[in-house]
């Protein structure tokens, strides 16, 4: 009887599916909680049922209709096959799923952020290479300098006469034929960099908004109940490895949710609170004192390094070695001091791992941004006013060395900080055990490297390509080190807002600080007289002012001149625009507050 009842139910299902439209039928079959094999069987039965009905009606499709239907099916199959191949080419997709299942969302957020920065630098490299570097190849002069191999570390020597640095680019209008189309290198350089930073600003803004709406205003963050266990399994998974990975992932998510629900609130006595506040103040005093001492050392070292460079060296090896002193010292400070900050954080004994990570990130961001601020002051106020023939190339070389040495120290940090720590914890001192992945330190390394890349784009247009390769290598080195050397966090916790916090730190103070440095360089500093596309001008921005003066003589370009004088250079326009933006932000803030109130009321109704 049960068997006959099952057959009747399946017949009814096939009949109802056959009466649907094609799109509705596909969606209905996809939503069924069945295996792929069972879904294919149901689909084939439905197609047979449709064919029978069409024969009974005598509506045999014509030859042309059959050909079109066959072509559509073949095209759909080809598209599905192509999408599967592209999915396999995403080399980090499987790695991210494995990391999330083994180590939870806290560690996964670091690798998601690293992948996001990698895509960001690919976009940056393509823009600069397309609009700045490729046209320069047409006007490039032959490089007569010899390549020794040391240039890969120092960025000097042979690389000075290549498209890697600002000083190599011409200030002429590039044209292959006399009466043919021309390419103004000055305008291309400044507009490409300017539009790139506008696009970066919008990408960061929309990314913050997207992650904020996904993580902070997310009802699933509050639903740790039976639905997580009973309603999240994907019945399409039949591969044994995929099933185990999905089980681990679901297990980790449930543990994180339960940890958040069962969060303990510790009650301290007055003496204990006073002692904790004293420890926090002492640790903050030690952290800020260390950051101030590091910045002071970097400042005096950079000044001394420039004086030695301007005096000259007795041989080339001494010169190449002296160039690496500043980046090595800066990278040593950026590598060792965060370990000290992590140790101080353990002394404070925070109640949750999230508090420890966020406080450590705050201290590291103060250290790294202060060091970058000292270096920017050194480049803008000392190097730019020095007697160097091409100070822009000198700054570009400094940033190249900082990026490269920071990448090397990042790899060494994985070796000494995780590999050797695992050896010591498993053989010498068993009490230490396996290390945990330091999220705060590693995230700040990424933000520091990206900040240097943004500053260096004006002086070394191909720097995003170098950083792109570095991030690609770091992703897989960190992934292997994580799997081989680290253990999952002892306290499992949920980190829905961490990716939003990372992008916010990348936006402020990193990106906004870079905009201020680029603004001072473009509007205030005088370019070098003998190199670069802006040689002979009072400032880089003067190229735009001269172009506008030329356009004033053309009647067809009056609208561009009007926009420049009445919008771009008008303080009133930006005041009105800023007021409008603030009003819109206030309205959206009120909408968010209203939605939060409604969400609380709905949550109370659900509980009732």
Tokens of 35: 């295996």
- 466 in Cβ contact with 400 (< 8 Å): yes
| pLDDT, position 215 | 63
| pLDDT, position 407 | 93
| pLDDT, position 191 | 92
- 341 in Cβ contact with 364 (< 8 Å): yes
| pLDDT, position 229 | 65
Q: Within 13 Å, how many C-alpha atoms sit on residue 90's CB side?
A: 12
| pLDDT, position 1 | 45
Q: What are phi and psi of 174, to 5 degrees?
A: -85, 130
Q: pLDDT tens, 266-301? A: 666 778 778 878 888 898 899 899 999 999 999 988
CA angle 129, 134, 137 (to 5 degrees): 135
Q: Lowest-confidence range among 178-192, 371-385, 446-460?
A: 178-192
- 515 in Cβ contact with 197 (< 8 Å): yes
Any idea of the CA torsion for 504, 505, 508, 511, to the nearest 10 degrees? Answer: -100
What long-range pairs does 561-564 form, CB within 8 A, spacing at least 24?
none
| pLDDT, position 563 | 85
**Band of pLDDT at residue 303, cut at 50, 70 and 90:** confident
- 135 in Cβ contact with 185 (< 8 Å): yes
The DSSP line for 540-573 is TTHHHHHHHHHHTT-GGGHHHHHHIIIIIT-HHH
Q: pLDDT tens, 322-360? A: 778 889 999 999 888 888 888 887 777 776 766 777 788
Q: Lowest-confidence range among 13-17, 41-45, 65-69, 143-147?
A: 65-69
Q: What does the alpha-carbon distance between residue 31 and residue 542 come to, in Å, rounded to a whole number?
A: 61
Q: Lowest-confidence range among 37-51, 74-88, 98-112, 241-255?
A: 74-88
List Cβ neighbours of 387 (8 Å cut-off, separation of 6 or more).
310
Q: What does the alpha-carbon distance between residue 88 and residue 94 come to, in Å, rounded to a whole number?
A: 9
Instruction: Please list the helix, strand and coil fractions of the chain in percent, rounded to the nearest 5, in that order.
Output: 75, 0, 20
User: In terms of pLDDT, which residue wins out, 496 or 477?
Assistant: 477
């Amino acid at each position: 009887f049960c068997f006959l009842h099952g057959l009747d139910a399946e017949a009814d299902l096939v009949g109802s599916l056959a009466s649907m439209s094609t799109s509705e039928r596909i969606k209905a079959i996809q939503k069924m909680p069945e295996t792929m094999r069972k879904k294919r069987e149901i689909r084939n039965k439905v197609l047979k049922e449709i064919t029978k009905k069409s024969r009974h009606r005598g509506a045999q499709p014509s030859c042309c209709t059959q050909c079109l239907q066959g072509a559509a099916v073949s095209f759909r199959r080809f598209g599905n096959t192509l999408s599967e191949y592209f999915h396999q080419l995403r080399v980090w997709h499987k790695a991210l799923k494995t990391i999330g299942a083994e180590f939870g969302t806290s560690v996964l957020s670091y690798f998601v952020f690293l992948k996001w920065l990698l895509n960001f630098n690919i976009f940056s490299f393509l823009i600069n290479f397309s609009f700045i570097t490729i046209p320069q190849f047409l006007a490039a002069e032959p490089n007569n300098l010899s390549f020794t191999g040391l240039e890969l570390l120092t960025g000097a020597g042979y690389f000075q006469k290549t498209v890697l640095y600002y000083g190599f680019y011409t200030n002429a209008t590039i044209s292959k034929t006399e009466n043919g189309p021309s390419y103004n290198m000055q305008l291309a350089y400044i507009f490409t960099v300017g539009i790139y930073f506008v696009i970066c600003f919008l990408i960061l803004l929309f990314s913050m908004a997207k992650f904020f709406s996904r993580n902070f205003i997310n009802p699933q963050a509050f639903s740790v109940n039976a639905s997580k266990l009973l309603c999240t399994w994907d019945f399409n998974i039949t591969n044994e490895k995929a099933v185990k990975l999905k089980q681990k992932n679901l297990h980790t998510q449930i543990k994180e949710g339960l940890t958040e629900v069962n969060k303990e609130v510790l009650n301290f006595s007055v003496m204990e609170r006073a002692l904790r506040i004293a420890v926090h103040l002492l640790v903050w005093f030690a952290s800020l004192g260390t950051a101030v001492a590091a910045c002071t050392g970097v400042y005096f070292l950079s000044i001394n390094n420039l004086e030695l460079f301007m005096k000259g060296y007795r041989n080339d090896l001494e010169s190449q070695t002296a160039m690496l002193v500043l980046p090595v010292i800066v990278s040593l400070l950026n590598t060792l001091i965060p370990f000290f900050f992590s140790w101080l954080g353990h002394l404070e004994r925070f109640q949750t791992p999230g508090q420890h990570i966020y406080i450590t990130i705050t201290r590291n961001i103060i250290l790294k941004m202060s060091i970058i601020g000292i270096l920017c002051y050194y480049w803008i106020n000392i190097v730019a006013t020095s007697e160097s023939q091409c100070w822009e190339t000198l700054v570009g070389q400094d940033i190249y060395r900082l990026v490269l040495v920071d990448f090397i120290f990042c790899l060494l940090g994985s070796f000494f900080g995780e590999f050797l720590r695992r050896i010591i914890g498993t053989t010498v001192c068993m009490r230490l055990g396996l290390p945990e992945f330091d999220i705060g330190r590693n995230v700040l390394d990424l933000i520091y490297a990206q900040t240097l890349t943004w500053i260096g784009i004006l002086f070394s247009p191909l720097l995003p390509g170098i950083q792109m390769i570095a991030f690609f290598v770091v992703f897989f080195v960190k992934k292997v080190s994580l799997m081989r050397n680290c253990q999952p966090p002892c306290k499992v916790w949920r980190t829905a807002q961490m990716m939003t916090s990372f992008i916010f730190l990348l936006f402020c103070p990193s990106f906004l600080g870079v905009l201020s440095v680029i603004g001072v360089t473009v509007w205030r500093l005088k370019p070098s007289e003998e190199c670069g596309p802006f040689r002979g001008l009072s400032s880089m921005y003067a190229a735009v002012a001269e172009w506008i003066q030329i356009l004033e003589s053309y009647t067809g370009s009056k609208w561009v001149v009007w926009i420049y004088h009445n919008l771009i250079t008008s303080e009133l326009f930006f005041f009105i625009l800023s007021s409008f933006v603030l009003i819109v932000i206030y309205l959206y803030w009120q909408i968010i507050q209203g939605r939060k109130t409604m969400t609380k009321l709905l949550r109370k109704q659900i509980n009732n």
